[in-house]
Amino acid sequence: MLGKQVRPAVRAPLAQAVAGLAVGAGAAVAGFAADAVKAFSDVEQSAGAVESVFGESAGQIIAQAEGAAEAFGLSASQFQTSAALIGSMLKNQMGLSAAEAADQVD
């Protein structure tokens, strides 16, 4: 008799817990998706800056960015953003060509 009374008492909190987990999982997935979109956007933006600064030599910088995570602990986006800033300064302040600046960024 007691077992029949306990089951309904356990069912409601258990159902609420499962519903809470489902809501939490949905929020986690949404957060992950938002982070992934931002990361993609950052990479695209930094790649555009690299292409603008280095022109035909941009491929050299992008190739270096792919190994930056292993070599320096930087994401490709972080490396490309830094490279674009340094390249821009080398071109504008030092008068280097895009190819010369790309060689110096390495």
Single pTM value for the model: 0.61
Q: What is the pLDDT of residues 41-57, one digit of tens each?
A: 766 787 888 888 889 98
Say if residues 90 and 100 touch (Cβ distance below 8 Å). yes
Residue by residue, pLDDT tens for the chain (106 residues) are 444 554 555 556 656 666 666 666 666 666 656 656 666 576 678 788 888 888 998 889 888 888 876 787 888 888 888 899 999 999 999 999 999 999 988 7
What kind and span of H or E run contains 93? helix 76-94
Four-CA torsion 28, 30, 31, 35, nearest 10 degrees:
140
